[in-house]
Structure 1
Amino acid sequence: MQKSTELMFGRGLVWATGEIHRRQRGIMNPAFSAPQMRTFLPMFQDSASKLAQMLKEEVIDAEPSGQLVVDMIGWLSRTTLDIIGELGFGFQFGSLDGLENPLRKQNESLFIGTPPRYRLILKTLWYYLPELLLDLIYLPTPRYRQLRRYSAFMRNFSQGIVERSIIEGDGKDVMSVLLRANASEDPRRTLSDIEMVDQIATLLFAGHDTTAKSLTWYLYEIARNPECQERVRAEIAAIRANKWVEKLSATDLESMAYTLATIKETLRLHPIVNVMHKEATRDDVIPLSSPIVTKSGEQVSSIPVRKGTLVDLAVGVYNRLPEIWGADANEFKPERFLDIDKSNHSNIGVFGNLMTFSSGPSGCIGWRFAVLEMQTIIVTLLENFEFSPPPQTEKTRIYRKPAGGLMAPMVEGGRCAWMGLVVKSLEE
């Protein structure tokens, strides 16, 4: 599994474990602090406004009725790519402007279709092959060749980004902040040149496609629950009524309790990474919150694991456990986050007691970036548009399917992610 991760992202933060992970994380933390994230809000707002304006001009106004079935995932993917390009590396992708770039094509190719069974079998074999052997052998599968091409492309692309950031030096983007944090003369407190380059592939993945798909699932749930959609819109209007300026502050967004609850509920029901793979670095014992009974009738309250044991963390299962979330855990119910029973609150994740952003030392370093970005785009879209499901047919019915390691919305038989929603402009 670590070799597959290295092929996609190099030796960046997602790949790193143990002491390497602690060192990389410590150096990168300043670039993702809460104060740093707040400086990004104007860019989030500008990009969200640009998305709304283009939806009106190029999609909605083209239909006399003022509403149209729109594949929202494409629009959101282009928006989040532009955002991570500018805020992550000071790079202008121009995706919303229709500019084509090789990186976007490379990135999109990673998330096409559900993997065939033979690929799953071959991937399982990777667990049992030494890493050095995997570096030397050639696996004759389309996916392996695709990962190799992506890895080579990203190394070249990222090297150029780092070199430009070093020359400019005073940028406010994540990479510039990271380079300044990496200025220590102590090699134990710095990233190597390769590690610095490989963080870019990690940030592009974590700050682009994952957020776009999360936003897509948000619109899906809001479209299916119009009363929730209206309540969010009313909360935004109430905040606006007390403002003398056009743009909302980070404090304004944080005060929208119900809107935040709908975001948490979406991330609970639709974690983009459904399973996280871990490997025990030492012998340990995993305690269970509730005892289980084995097939032999033995009651077990803990599970011993040996060093090297592979452990799959079922994020989607935890996020829907009735013991944590109630008997209605499979329903979209944002209110569950407004009146939390503290006696049954486990505080596992970094956000909303969810496993969606992982937890502990491996918790997603960019979760604040993702949440603030989602808040900003959601507020802008719901102020300008009404979303509803299209007529339900086999061509429009949405399913959650794995695509390149992410849970994507797809129609039956589709190879690419698709989320068609009826979008209606709220302008008179």
Structure 2
Amino acid sequence: MSAPTEQGMKEMTELVATYPQGFMTWLGPMVPLIHLCHPDVIRSVLSASAAVAPKDAIFYSLLKPWLGDGLLVSAGDKWNRHRHMLTPAFHFNILKPYVKIFNDSTNIMHAKWLHLASEGSTRLDMFENISLMTLDSLQKCVFSFDSNCQEKPSKYIAAILELSALVMKRNEQLLLHMDLLYRLTPDGIRFYKACRLVHDFTDAVIQERRCTLPSNGGDDVIKAKAKSKTLDFIDDENGKELSDEDIRAEADTFMFRGHDTTASGLSWILYNLAKHPEYQERCRQEVQELLKDRASTEIEWDDLAQLPFLTMCIKESLRLHPPVTMISRCCTQDISLPDGRVIPKGVICVINIFGTHHNPTVWRDPEVYDPFRFDPENIQDRSPLAFIPFSAGPRNCIGQAFAMSEMKVALALTLLRFRVLPDDTEPRRKPELILRAEGGLWLRVEPLSTGAQ
């Protein structure tokens, strides 16, 4: 749905500046895509029910061999049932114990950084390091599983990178949407090989988790976990297991969307703060002030609401570099827009998150990194749909509170222990399924003398 190049992103920004309400592109000669990039326009589509504006079957069907029929891809009654069942697992009371895990996983990452810095190597690919950290956290939080994935190279991470690139490449080649044909191509062979690797990884996590249930009392364990508000993914709200197929689909979806998007968000946040040392230092002072009278440097749940400037910096980075740059919906009936125009039934609407976040009629100087846009006094007159890094409406991101909590913990600890400096080479944005950087996002880290122990 978008050219995976920096030039493509620049052209998108120019189009939004020229047509701030939206514009049309084409997926092949016969499939028009209407890009919506203004809050007043996208509201009509995002606020529609999941039945009126379901996800675009053309694009999301390409994800099914990888992600199955999980929340990201499913529709209708199945989506409603699974969304209703999984939503309680992301309640604030259940998220609270995960903050300890976020601290622990970040500590492991920082120990590696300190070791590398002791050898004089401080130039790091943030995507590589942070992806492993967020994957580590996700497995521990959502599956009660510790794979020690930060301690060794990850074939799973490599497979995710390959799958993301191959899906976007396939989407732009309409003939290869036919599965029988795609399987015969070199890309198709690579895609299904990577799918097998990802599925084997997920199956191992699921089986490891399931083995702990019977040996520890089965239903009694689930009830105890429910009482203590630490349900994990494989325990549903009634203590009954999903089918093997459903478990795998939701697990694959959460493993990808739960770690990769957060890693993208954190990597670009560190990039933006490296480019703006004055904001980085203000965040650092905010964290130091919060922890000044404590023996421990651990970030606690109640601390997350006590970091207003750091939160503003996170949000401004998510505006400038949204991990997911666009989503698509297919209208199952006519949808009326505020100006009287109508989006006809059957049209594919691209909710252009990147375009909305860079729309000059919505954001003054949209290419400038300015955290004060998210000062409470500055957001009162702004549409809530001007900032949609987690989408919006009935199909918004179920894990957004999880992701924001993890980003706050990891960023606070990182700035407490390290100074983050820009690399000599400016990264080139590369939008695939998430917003990456070509060749990685390289930054330099410098341990602080008052850093973490």
Residue type of the alignment partner of 1:304: V
Say whether 1:419 aligns with 2:452: no
SS, match of residue 308 in structure 1: coil
Say whether 1:108 aligns with 2:161: yes
Please say if residues 31 and 178 of structure 1, whose CA atoms lie closer than 8 Å, have aligned partners that are also in contact: no
Q: For 1:191-206, what aligned pairs fall within 5 Å after superposition?
A: 191-206=242-257
Deviations 1:17-36 (A, max 9, x none): 23221111001111111111
Displacement of 1:203 after TM fit?
A: 0.7
Inter-partner Cα distance in structure 1 for 2:287 and 2:126: 22
Inter-partner Cα distance in structure 1 for 2:260 and 2:387: 20
Q: For 1:132-143, what aligned pairs fall within 5 Å after superposition?
A: 134=178, 137-143=181-187
Say whether 1:214 aligns with 2:271: no
Please say if residues 10 and 151 of structure 1, whose CA atoms lie closer than 8 Å, have aligned partners that are also in contact: no
Say whether 1:285 aligns with 2:339: no
**Cα distance change, pair 73–177 in 1 and its aligned pair in 2 (3 A):** closer
Residue type of the alignment partner of 2:428: Y
Instruction: Give the TM-score normalised by the residue count of structure 1.
Output: 0.81
Displacement of 1:90 after TM fit?
A: 2.2
Say whether 1:180 aligns with 2:236: yes
Please say if residues 89 and 174 of structure 1, whose CA atoms lie closer than 8 Å, have aligned partners that are also in contact: no
SS, match of residue 173 in structure 2: helix
Inter-partner Cα distance in structure 1 for 2:348 and 2:411: 38
Please say if residues 324 and 344 of structure 1, whose CA atoms lie closer than 8 Å, have aligned partners that are also in contact: no
SS, match of residue 437 in structure 2: strand
Corresponding residue for 1:96?
Answer: 150
Please say if residues 80 and 211 of structure 1, whose CA atoms lie closer than 8 Å, have aligned partners that are also in contact: yes
Say whether 1:384 aligns with 2:417: yes
SS, match of residue 361 in structure 2: helix
Inter-partner Cα distance in structure 2 for 1:115 and 1:137: 17
**Cα distance change, pair 337–94 in 1 and its aligned pair in 2 (3 A):** same
Deviations 1:192-218 (A, max 9, x none): 431121111101111112111211101
Inter-partner Cα distance in structure 2 for 1:102 and 1:343: 45
SS, match of residue 181 in structure 1: coil
Which sits farther off after the overlay, 46-55 or 218-227?
A: 46-55
SS, match of residue 93 in structure 1: coil
Residue type of the alignment partner of 2:263: A
Alignment match of 2:313 (pick from 262, 280, 295): 262
SS, match of residue 350 in structure 2: strand
Displacement of 1:219 after TM fit?
A: 0.8
SS, match of residue 337 in structure 2: strand
Deviations 1:80-121 (A, max 9, x none): 1211122122222222212x45433322322459966xx454
**Cα distance change, pair 309–41 in 1 and its aligned pair in 2 (3 A):** same
Please say if residues 117 and 446 of structure 2, whose CA atoms lie closer than 8 Å, have aligned partners that are also in contact: yes
Please say if residues 166 and 179 of structure 1, whose CA atoms lie closer than 8 Å, have aligned partners that are also in contact: no
**Total equivalences in the alignment:** 380
Which sits farther off after the overlay, 100-109 or 246-255?
A: 100-109
Corresponding residue for 1:236?
Answer: 287
Displacement of 1:38 after TM fit?
A: 1.0
Deviations 1:156-182 (A, max 9, x none): 443443344334234769883552325
Alignment match of 2:374 (pick from 337, 350, 362): 337
**Cα distance change, pair 421–161 in 1 and its aligned pair in 2 (3 A):** closer
Alignment match of 2:430 (pick from 401, 416, 419): 401
Displacement of 1:247 after TM fit?
A: 2.2
SS, match of residue 236 in structure 2: helix
Corresponding residue for 1:319?
Answer: 357
SS, match of residue 422 in structure 1: strand
Between 1 and 2, higher relative CO (CA 8 Å, sep ≥ 6) is seen in 2
**Cα distance change, pair 90–114 in 1 and its aligned pair in 2 (3 A):** closer
Inter-partner Cα distance in structure 2 for 1:15 and 1:114: 14
Which sits farther off after the overlay, 84-93 or 135-144?
A: 135-144
Deviations 1:15-70 (A, max 9, x none): 0123221111001111111111111010100111221122011x11111xxx7322
Displacement of 1:409 after TM fit?
A: 1.4
Which sits farther off after the overlay, 377-386 or 240-249?
A: 240-249
Inter-partner Cα distance in structure 2 for 1:426 and 1:321: 38
SS, match of residue 364 in structure 1: coil
**Cα distance change, pair 313–141 in 1 and its aligned pair in 2 (3 A):** farther
Inter-partner Cα distance in structure 1 for 2:182 and 2:166: 23
Please say if residues 271 and 356 of structure 1, whose CA atoms lie closer than 8 Å, have aligned partners that are also in contact: yes
Please say if residues 166 and 176 of structure 1, whose CA atoms lie closer than 8 Å, have aligned partners that are also in contact: no
Inter-partner Cα distance in structure 2 for 1:259 and 1:339: 13
Unaligned runs of 5+ in 2: 1-58, 214-220
Inter-partner Cα distance in structure 2 for 1:271 and 1:374: 14
Deviations 1:205-254 (A, max 9, x none): 11112111211101110000010001001111111124465423212121
**Cα distance change, pair 174–202 in 1 and its aligned pair in 2 (3 A):** farther
Instruction: Give the TM-score normalised by the residue count of structure 2.
Output: 0.77
Inter-partner Cα distance in structure 1 for 2:435 and 2:138: 21
Say whether 1:61 aligns with 2:118: yes
Please say if residues 93 and 101 of structure 1, whose CA atoms lie closer than 8 Å, have aligned partners that are also in contact: no
Which sits farther off after the overlay, 240-249 or 328-337?
A: 240-249
Say whether 1:80 aligns with 2:134: yes
Deviations 1:302-353 (A, max 9, x none): 442344321111000111223333x2222100011114445522223xxxx6
User: How large is the Cα RMSD of the aligned pairs?
Assistant: 2.6
Say whether 1:24 aligns with 2:82: yes
Inter-partner Cα distance in structure 1 for 2:437 and 2:206: 34
Unaligned runs of 5+ in 1: 127-133, 185-189, 289-300, 411-415
Deviations 1:252-276 (A, max 9, x none): 1211100000000011110111111
Inter-partner Cα distance in structure 1 for 2:230 and 2:400: 14
Inter-partner Cα distance in structure 2 for 1:115 and 1:285: 28
